[in-house]
């Protein structure tokens, strides 16, 4: 699986403003609902439930909130870069500004884990993280995803 298999040009959001994780998850649920017809309340509930199990904050300002829901047939992902740091209650006490969201079908087994692995592999390259913070347009970020998929 390549990162461009799960994140499309239209699902990259820059300079996103949310004052809290709660507000961020609400915005995510709205965006997923508009593009998939999945139930917005279920998306929000599942994201919050997953976060209660343990923070999806990886540290260094990066989080990968994820959930499995009914109503979709394939993996749906977003990349969000926020203007402000959002508290994800992590041990490093740093806020999050780079967010990869994965919404998978409820019955997904390996595909869900493969999407997490694909994003994690991309994030292991330090220069990718630096570029995610510096690039100015969603097109430039998508091109970064394309280049990483080619290597």
In the chain, where are the structural domains located?
Answer: 3-149
Q: What percent of the chain has pLDDT over 90?
A: 68
Taking domain 3-149, whether its CATH number is 3.30.930.10 is answered by no
**Stated pTM of the model:** 0.93
Instruction: Say if CB 68 and CB 99 are below 8 A apart.
Output: no
**For the segment 1-52, what is each residue's pLDDT rounded down to a tens digit?**
899 999 999 999 998 888 889 999 999 999 999 988 789 999 999 999 998 9
Just list the catalytic residues: 66
User: Could you tell me the two tokens for 88?
Assistant: 């994800």
């Amino acid at each position: 699986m390549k990162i461009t298999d799960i994140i499309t040009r239209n699902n990259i959001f820059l300079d996103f403003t949310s004052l809290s994780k709660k507000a961020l998850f609400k915005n995510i649920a709205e965006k997923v609902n508009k593009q998939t017809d999945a139930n917005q309340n279920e998306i929000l509930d599942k994201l919050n439930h997953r976060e209660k199990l343990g923070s999806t904050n990886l540290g260094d300002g990066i989080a990968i909130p994820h959930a499995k829901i009914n109503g979709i047939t394939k993996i749906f992902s977003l990349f969000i870069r926020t203007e402000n740091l959002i508290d994800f209650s992590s041990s490093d006490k740093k806020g999050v500004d780079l967010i990869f969201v994965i919404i998978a079908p409820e019955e997904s087994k390996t595909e869900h884990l493969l999407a997490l692995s694909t994003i994690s592999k991309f994030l292991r390259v330090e220069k990718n993280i630096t570029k995610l913070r510096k690039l100015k347009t969603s097109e430039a970020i998508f091109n970064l995803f394309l280049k990483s998929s080619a290597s």
